[in-house]
Amino acid sequence: MANSGNKRIPVAVLGATGSVGQRFIELLTDHPWFEVAEVVASDRNVGKPYREAAAWRLSADMPESVASLPMLDYSADLQSPLVFSALPGEVAEEIEQRMAREGRALFTNTSFHRMDDDVPLLIAEVNPDHAKVIEVQRKNRGWSGFIAANSNCSAMHLVLALKPLQDAFGIDAVSVVTLQAVSGAGYPGVPSLDMIDNVIPFISTEEEKMVIESKKMLGRLDGATFVPANMVMTAHCNRVPVRDGHTECASVRLGSNPEIEEVIAVFENFRARPQELKLPSAPERPIVVRRENNRPQPVLDRDTERGMASVVGRVRPCELLGLKFVVLGHNTIRGAAGASILNAELFHAEGLLPV
Amino acid sequence: MANSGNKRIPVAVLGATGSVGQRFIELLTDHPWFEVAEVVASDRNVGKPYREAAAWRLSADMPESVASLPMLDYSADLQSPLVFSALPGEVAEEIEQRMAREGRALFTNTSFHRMDDDVPLLIAEVNPDHAKVIEVQRKNRGWSGFIAANSNCSAMHLVLALKPLQDAFGIDAVSVVTLQAVSGAGYPGVPSLDMIDNVIPFISTEEEKMVIESKKMLGRLDGATFVPANMVMTAHCNRVPVRDGHTECASVRLGSNPEIEEVIAVFENFRARPQELKLPSAPERPIVVRRENNRPQPVLDRDTERGMASVVGRVRPCELLGLKFVVLGHNTIRGAAGASILNAELFHAEGLLPV
Amino acid sequence: MANSGNKRIPVAVLGATGSVGQRFIELLTDHPWFEVAEVVASDRNVGKPYREAAAWRLSADMPESVASLPMLDYSADLQSPLVFSALPGEVAEEIEQRMAREGRALFTNTSFHRMDDDVPLLIAEVNPDHAKVIEVQRKNRGWSGFIAANSNCSAMHLVLALKPLQDAFGIDAVSVVTLQAVSGAGYPGVPSLDMIDNVIPFISTEEEKMVIESKKMLGRLDGATFVPANMVMTAHCNRVPVRDGHTECASVRLGSNPEIEEVIAVFENFRARPQELKLPSAPERPIVVRRENNRPQPVLDRDTERGMASVVGRVRPCELLGLKFVVLGHNTIRGAAGASILNAELFHAEGLLPV
Amino acid sequence: MANSGNKRIPVAVLGATGSVGQRFIELLTDHPWFEVAEVVASDRNVGKPYREAAAWRLSADMPESVASLPMLDYSADLQSPLVFSALPGEVAEEIEQRMAREGRALFTNTSFHRMDDDVPLLIAEVNPDHAKVIEVQRKNRGWSGFIAANSNCSAMHLVLALKPLQDAFGIDAVSVVTLQAVSGAGYPGVPSLDMIDNVIPFISTEEEKMVIESKKMLGRLDGATFVPANMVMTAHCNRVPVRDGHTECASVRLGSNPEIEEVIAVFENFRARPQELKLPSAPERPIVVRRENNRPQPVLDRDTERGMASVVGRVRPCELLGLKFVVLGHNTIRGAAGASILNAELFHAEGLLPV
């Protein structure tokens, strides 16, 4: 492991004042390996302390250690070798590539590079072996650093739940309908006039992302080429008046016909590389199964395993595809910043960080 | 038509103080054919005027014509030949059967008799021909009156949307996930602690009802026997923080592969018996299609055609089943009281009422 | 009355695509005296039909008569002699003054000119005599048209409720705490992350506006000078997760000590100039009193008298000031567009319009 | 201090399955002095483990240590010398008195005995000296145990904020309007149909309780007699769609006219007996002042100091009474179970517990 002594690796957070940026900062407070050293956002607030630049919205008070850091803008010459990106899509491409070119390890929550042929789209428990495509990436692009992405927040929890099923039974088809929280749209995000007493049955490009990202993550890396999972998949995405926590109703056609209790056992017994390595942000149980017939629910279950687990419930037969269940997870912790940090921990533990 | 002159048929409403009971009363105000003459509920308030017995919750004021009617209890000797039932399930069986035995036309919104072999489960636009099973019912049971049921509120809008597809293309499979409004659970119904910032991914027996009721309504009456529609169907039902209006995400495998515009045309051109007969509660367009990509939405679309239409949107290809779309409708108007009244209007126009 | 035959006066709506602008258009549909002839907004959408420029959010469909009108921008040479303004504050000053200079009657919902010494701040039932200050205004400014304003949405309902008390008993002091709906902040307005499971105990400049506007409206016009009402007033304004309808808890020290029933009678018997003139938008009862102890409530009472009434409830003694009660009203109908239209109707009926 | 070694005092929780009962159990988990030994509720579930009897709603999982305790009913012969009561009002009187008669220390969150002449109504920081009235109580009633009450949840936070003002400046008058969370009504409590898109401007008996309880707590114990605070007070209570956290808008007339910064300093410097004694549940700062103009807010501030602080904001001049501010606090932690536990800790530290 590259970390020696108690010296923590300095990290920069890009898009530090936004919703996901704030979550990065919250989750990195008191992190054993990483330390927020630089906060970066658009130039409006450059030079101001983070305390003044960010309207902190995660709890009463922002972490003291970050509050006094001066805001940097995107042109700043960063010192941190490790960078987390919560950039808005429109500026992500150029900035993220520059970071990698400059030799930094960039872990991005932005969608821009997710589907690039030489960028790993990673869930640490699902496809840690995809990480090695960064060698191809470096060769292709002549970079000393690299870009590693995590997926869309709703794909994240679905794929985490599908992975042990794929391993145990194979997966032929998936139909998913989501009920997504408003924090997924950032801040200001969804107007309250669109959410009080309402549902919006549409989230721009979300259904497409869920399908292609899920197939990439459940697929395999064949040398320098990603082969997407060979399964049929359809998604319908809705926005509902919930602060945090995406609820997803999934029907799945497996490669075989296990008993329901067997499926539940497969969910509950799922452990993977982050659990073996005891990564600091790894949930003890990546998938938690609730047996009550009215669970999981956002207010009760989104913080399971500090928001890093996917909570599965209502596992039962599906008349159409054989198996159906609900999966719920925290969309800005496991679904965004927490997933990115877990990926960085995996790289660090595997000796893949350039530090 | 049996109605002569301007004399309206007196009707009784059972369960008149509850959510659906109030909706019956609201919709029957100024009805051209029917007039609320008797309001019936459990004996707690017997003799009091409706004004005092009911905590009216549909708008500022209850209809004046009903406010002073005295509450009757279930043992009362009713005068009305036409009865609408919004009874709670536990008391429905005996009382509803008594009404039919006494020669009344009973239109029920309760689930108790829906799946009986000789009870029509009717959507006036979908299966008006099923009405004639009441002859079998009368013979079987020796009744001079009859019981006619309408379906579960979420099955209602789905089936209304499926009907023209079935007629035009045939239907092999349906997968539906609902986001249902709290008014569907009556009053007091769902506690606010279960709904603020939350979703409940379960509604007791709702998924089973959606499947069997849909198949009965889309099936055919073969002499004295109902033959359910030959299709595979799966449902997942959720409760969301919305007052009125169920949103349903449906994927459908048709018998053929029409273009999307052809499907939309079939939805938009759908007209049926209630429209031909110009029944007073019939929507001009039973199905209204929205072209915007973020519609239908409960707050904007639930009152379309006075709450009597199903509003369809996001009609698009489904990777799994071929076609997917959203259907939304008012759950206590078209999904309950309004549907029951429309059924009674159909019977009246067809000369099937015992008056 | 100036209106002759069935020719309606063409009106322009400034800021026609916003929340209040849409409400103007909705309320002017089928208006007997006025007809929306011109829709004006910032130049982004100039030339497009209103149908494409406005994301209509008041109900399923926008009025057909307006949907095809082409969008004009603020520099357009308008034809309408009567103009309703729902302009955003930052652009209101120059444009509104230009309209008046050009000879138009400009009724504005914007705060910019409300407190000007020669601009009437009008509630048609409360201070119709203030209208005549437009003569001073014209002289002062050399305009052939004029500007007439209506108040802030929360001041509107409070002052409407205070007026009959002032007339009957005099008012020495008022303490009010508001629970305001999100539509008051326009669209997109309040982010849903700030409203789900939350209250915001602050609305910028709202408390100051409530106090000074209330005093101006309840004061008197002494020749060319407004003398504010001589009363002490304090306000605290909160935003709550409600779509439409401001709830306000008021305590009042009257000039005398009437019985509660006497106060209620004064509320209920209140009629004023709009009721005498039978203005088209005038509520039959400007103040509706509810006797139930848990009313008024936004979902039940905001649409009373088509949203044009203030609904008062919980009239009871106040230990501190003598009298307390709740007043609720629709903030974008009576509290904004509807009030403006009623003012224009008043001017029209009194022969004060330049048409 | 009475506690010796690491033996914890066994406690019983009455009404253990309800909302406040669950909060007692959550807050007593890992308590250094007290240990939940007995869970008591109505006899429906007697003998079942708590796990099965309670629908746990505070987070994903109930504390393991309590989950297997068998439910007792109210007739059980309890072993615990210390009892916390979250009983429903209708059964509280007889049961609570029996507990005290049997020699137990009974800390109740129920309203039944709060205003009794010989029962202390306590906030540990506000009126700890009132505790000694239990000697009068024992003498009066011949009890070996005693009853000590905590106040209504909305009075709690108001009084906690008023106490340092009273000490520093004196208080002549208070006007308060509350925006209360639904958890204050228990479970099932407020129907979601009454809360989605709505406000209820009434909570039964709440306004009366706020006034008389506040005066008792801010008054003084003169020998065996409580002398209520000599101040005028008025309250208006509203229910709003918020899960936890009461927001209260207060105007106060002090005995003198301090500068706003002086008032803020008095709030911030407030410390009392629980802080001196370093009681386990005592907040470090009983009152936390926010300087941002839009705070406190329920979602951001209710968990300040583990839900045990009152959070004050918007401290500013009041045109009517001189000073106004907002106070917000967690209604089921500091406002109920947490306050009761803190009271018991105070008694324990002062050697007043019969153990």
List the structure tokens of D163: 């106490």
Contact list, B182 vs chain D (CB under 8 Å): 192-193, 196
| CATH code for residues D9-151+337-349 | 3.40.50.720
Maximum mean pLDDT: which of B26-35, C59-68, C89-98: B26-35
- D177 to chain B, minimum CA–CA distance in Å? 22
**Of the given ranges (A38-47, A305-314, B262-271, C128-137), which has the lowest mean pLDDT?**
A38-47
Token code pair at residue C98: 């230009």
- The answer to whether B311 faces chain C, any CB pair under 8 Å, is yes
Would you tell me which residues 173-232 of chain C have a C-beta closer than 8 angstroms to some C-beta of chain D?
173-175, 177, 179, 194, 196-202, 211, 232
Q: How far does the CA of residue D47 sit from the closest CA of chain A (Å)?
A: 21
- Residue C307 is predicted with a pLDDT of 98
- DSSP summary character for residue C109: -
User: Which residues in chain A are contacts of D299 at CB distance < 8 A?
Assistant: 243
Catalytic residue among C130, C246, C330, C348: C246
Phi, psi of C53 (to 5 degrees): -80, -30
* Contacts C243 to D, Cβ<8 Å: 197
Q: Are C9-151+337-349 and C153-330 the same fold in CATH?
A: no
What is B9-152+337-349's CATH number?
3.40.50.720
| Portion of chain C with pLDDT greater than 70, in percent | 98
Handedness of CA B133, B139, B144, B146 (dihedral sign): negative
Q: Give residue-wise pLDDT tens across range B66-98.
A: 999 999 999 999 999 999 999 987 889 999 999
Instruction: Calculate Rg over the CA atoms of chain C.
Output: 20
In chain C, residues with a C-beta closer than 8 Å to the C-beta of D211 are 319
Instruction: List the catalytic residue out of B113, B130, B153, B237.
Output: B153
Which residue of chain D is at minimal alpha-carbon distance from C193?
Answer: D299
DSSP C8: P
Catalytic residue among D113, D153, D157, D237: D153
Using CA atoms, how far apart are residues B228 and A24, in angstroms rounded to an integer?
54
Q: Say if the Cβ atoms of D232 and C319 lie within 8 Å.
A: yes
Strand partners, B327: B248, B312
Q: What is the pLDDT of residues C46-66, one digit of tens each?
A: 999 999 999 999 988 899 999
- Overall size of chain C counted in residues: 355
Domain segments of chain D as ranges: 9-151+337-349, 153-330
pLDDT digits (tens, 9 = 90+) for C308-336: 999 999 999 999 999 999 999 999 999 99
Chains touching A by CB (3 or more pairs below 8 Å): B, C, D
The answer to pTM > 0.95 is yes
pLDDT at C118 exceeding the cut of 90: yes
C321–chain D Cβ distance below 8 A for any pair? yes
ipTM score assigned to the predicted complex? 0.96
* H or E element at residue D252: strand D246-254
Write down the catalytic residue from D113, D130, D157, D246: D246
> Cβ of D320 under 8 Å from any chain C Cβ?
yes
Given an 8 Å threshold on Cβ–Cβ distance, is D243 in contact with A299? Answer: yes
Q: Write the pLDDT tens digit of every residue in C260-314.
A: 999 999 999 999 999 999 999 999 999 999 999 999 999 999 999 999 999 999 9
Residues with Cβ within 8 Å of D264's Cβ and at least 6 positions away in sequence, in order, are D289, D315
Compute the distance between CA of residue A71 and CA of residue A38 in angstroms, rounded to an integer. Answer: 8
Of all residues in chain A, the one with the smallest CA distance to D56 is A300
Whether B191 sits inside 8 A of D192 (CB atoms) is yes
**pLDDT tens-digit series, residues B290-302:** 999 999 999 999 9
Q: What is the mean pLDDT of residues A32-54?
A: 94
Average pLDDT over residues C241-260: 98
Say if the Cβ atoms of D297 and C198 lie within 8 Å.
Answer: yes
Please tell me which residue of chain B has the smallest CA distance to D183.
B193
pLDDT at B2: 42
Would the pLDDT of C2 be above 70?
no
Instruction: Return the number of other C-beta atoms located less than 10 Å from residue A224's C-beta.
Output: 14
pLDDT > 80? residue A193: yes
What mean pLDDT is reported for chain A?
A: 96
Nearest alpha carbon to residue B328 among D197, A201, A250: A201
pLDDT value for C6: 66
Q: B242 in contact with D at a CB cutoff of 8 Å?
A: yes
Instruction: Give the active site residues of A.
Output: 153, 246
Q: Does A172 contact chain D (CB < 8 Å)?
A: no
Measured between alpha carbons, how far is B133 from A300 in angstroms, rounded to an integer?
48
Closest-CA residue of chain B to C305: B60
Residue of B nearest to D192 (CA): B192
Residue of C nearest to B52 (CA): C292
Annotation marks residue D246 as catalytic: yes
Judged by DSSP in three states, A59 sits in coil
- Say yes or no: B9 contacts chain D, CB-CB below 8 A: no
| Beta strands per DSSP E along B161-278 | 171-180, 220-222, 225-227, 232-239, 246-254
CATH class of A153-330: alpha beta
Given an 8 Å threshold on Cβ–Cβ distance, is B199 in contact with A179? yes
Shortest Cα distance, chain D CAs vs residue B245, angstroms: 13
Per-residue model confidence as pLDDT tens for chain D (355 residues): 344 456 899 999 999 999 999 999 999 999 999 999 999 998 788 999 999 999 999 988 899 999 999 999 999 999 999 999 999 878 899 999 999 999 999 999 999 999 999 999 999 999 999 999 999 999 999 999 999 999 999 999 999 999 999 999 999 999 999 999 999 999 999 999 999 999 999 999 999 999 999 999 999 999 899 999 999 999 999 999 999 999 999 999 999 999 999 999 999 999 999 999 999 999 999 999 999 999 999 999 999 999 999 999 999 999 999 999 999 999 999 999 999 999 999 999 999 998 7
Q: Helix or strand or coil: residue A50? A: helix
Predicted pLDDT at D3:
43
| Cβ-Cβ contacts under 8 Å, A188 against chain C | 188, 191, 193
Among the partner residues B177, B241, B324, nearest to A249 by beta-carbon distance: B177
Nearest to B196 by CA among C2, A20, D195, D204: D195
Check residue A4 and give its pLDDT.
46
Is the CB of residue B323 less than 8 Å away from at least one CB of chain A?
A: no
